[in-house]
Amino acid sequence: MDYGKFRYEEAQRIKESRKKTVQITMKEVKFKPKIAKGDFDTKVRHMLEFLDEGHKVKVTLQFRGREMAHPELGTKILDAVIEQLGQIAKVDTSARLEGRNMTMVLSPDKKASKRPVSAKPAVAKPQSLNPPTISNTNLNTTTETENKNAEDENIQDSKEAI
C-alpha cells in the first residue's frame, strides 16, 4: 500500500468523524432582581429558542448594592424560569450564589428535542409576582349582598315604627 494513499484515507476518516460531531455552545441570559414582566417574558422566549437549537443556557442573575441582602428575590425569578421551561429544559447546575451573581445552567431535554421543529411550544403565561386583582364580578356580588342586607334592615325598621 502506498503511504500517500494511507494518509489520504486517514484524513478522510477524520474528516468524516468530525461531520458527525455536534458543537454545543453555551448561551448566557442575564437577569436583574427588579425585572419587569415583559422583559422577563422576552428573555424566557429567547432562552426557549436557544434550547430548541440545542444550546445550553447559562442564566445569570446580577445583584447590585442592597439587592444582595435579598437573594430570595433572585431565587424566586430563577424558579419562575424553571417553571416556564420545565418540560423543555433540564437543570444541569442548580442556582448558586457566586459573589454578586446567582447562576444556573440549563440544557435541552432529550425527550423534548424529539418533537417536530415546526411545532413551537406555546410559552405558558407566567404567574404574576404581584398579588391577584379583584374582579368586577366579586365586587358586584358583595354589592348585591349589601343591598339585600340594607333592604332587610329597612323592612325591620318600618315594622318597628308601626
47-59: burial string, b at 16+ Cβ within 10 Å, e else = bbebbbeebbbbb
Residue at 25 is within a domain: yes
Q: What percent of the chain has pLDDT over 90?
A: 36
Residue at 142 is within a domain: yes
CATH number assigned to the domain comprising residue 79 = 3.30.110.10
Residue at 12 is within a domain: no
The confidence band for 150, taking pLDDT boundaries of 50, 70 and 90, is low
pLDDT tens string 108-121: 987 655 544 444 44
Residue at 148 is within a domain: yes
Residue at 105 is within a domain: yes
How many domains in the chain? 1
Residue at 161 is within a domain: no
pLDDT of residue 106: 92
55 vs 124, higher pLDDT: 55
pLDDT of residue 132: 45
pLDDT tens string 69-87: 988 989 999 999 999 988 8
63: Cβ–Cβ under 8 A, 6 or more apart, which residues?
A: 32, 33, 71, 74, 100, 101, 102
pLDDT > 70? residue 38? yes
Residue range of the domain that includes 97: 21-152
Residue at 11 is within a domain: no
The pLDDT of 58-63, averaged and rounded, is 93
pLDDT of residue 138: 47
Asked if 37 contacts 128 with a C-beta cutoff of 8 angstroms, the reply is yes
The confidence band for 152, taking pLDDT boundaries of 50, 70 and 90, is low
Dihedral sign from CA coordinates of 140, 145, 149, 155? positive
Asked if 123 contacts 77 with a C-beta cutoff of 8 angstroms, the reply is no
pLDDT > 80? residue 37? yes
pLDDT of residue 47: 92
pLDDT tens string 94-104: 888 889 999 99
